[in-house]
Amino acid sequence: MEPVILSSESNTLDGCDRVFLAGDRVIVQGAPVLGDVDFVSVSVPAGETLTAVSAQIFLDAARELERRMRP
């Protein structure tokens, strides 16, 4: 299954801050959130990480997903 780019800060295929749709899952690419000082209250399971994308990219992706889901 080829993921669909819902929103991206880049016009290239290797850009950062991207939100994809892959089947029924949303995939987010962004910069790792480093330093546990800012997110000390967030427990992250082993093997997972926090990734930051801009709020605008996330909103744009949500709007595109909503558009694609309309009949």
* Beta-bridge partners for 62: none
Domain count, the chain: 1
- The pLDDT value recorded for residue 38 is 73
Q: SS3 of 62, please?
A: helix
For 10-44, the pLDDT digits (tens) are 876 666 789 999 988 999 998 888 776 677 788 88
All residues at 6 or more sequence positions from 1 whose CB lies less than 8 Å from its CB, including other chains: 22, 23
Q: CA-to-CA distance for 51 and 57, rounded, in angstroms?
A: 13
How many CB atoms are located within 10 Å of the residue 60 CB?
16
Kindly state the percentage of the chain with pLDDT values over 90: 37
Range of the domain at 46: 4-69
